[in-house]
């Protein structure tokens, strides 16, 4: 069962990387931000699968921190795009 979960984690990372490659070639900053969010979501999913496969609780904590960083990055992007950056 653990091998299947690790395989699924690898496939999620490959799918995220394929989408990331396409989104990074996008024309604008919003496309690049969506690429970062895609990589963040794929990384969270892969980390949770690895945690379930290996039984390491610390990996879940890393996934939660990555989720928080992704949310903060999204909010910072929106504030910067609207000119509310607080400088």
Burial 34-63 (b: 16+ CB within 10 A, else e): bbbbbbbbbbbbbbbbbbbbeeeeebeebb
| pLDDT tens by residue, 9-45 | 999 999 888 877 777 777 788 888 888 888 899 999 9
pLDDT digits (tens, 9 = 90+) for 75-86: 999 898 888 766
- CA distances 30 to 15, 33, 38, Å, are 20, 5, 12
pTM of the shown model: 0.83
């Amino acid at each position: 069962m653990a091998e299947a979960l690790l395989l699924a984690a690898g496939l999620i990372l490959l799918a995220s990387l394929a989408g990331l490659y396409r989104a990074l070639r996008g024309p604008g900053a919003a496309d690049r931000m969506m690429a970062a969010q895609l990589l963040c979501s794929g990384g969270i999913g892969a980390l949770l699968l690895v945690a379930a496969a290996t039984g390491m609780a610390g990996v879940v904590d890393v996934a939660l921190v990555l989720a928080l960083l992704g949310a903060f990055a999204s909010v910072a992007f929106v504030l910067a795009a609207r000119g509310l950056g607080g400088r």
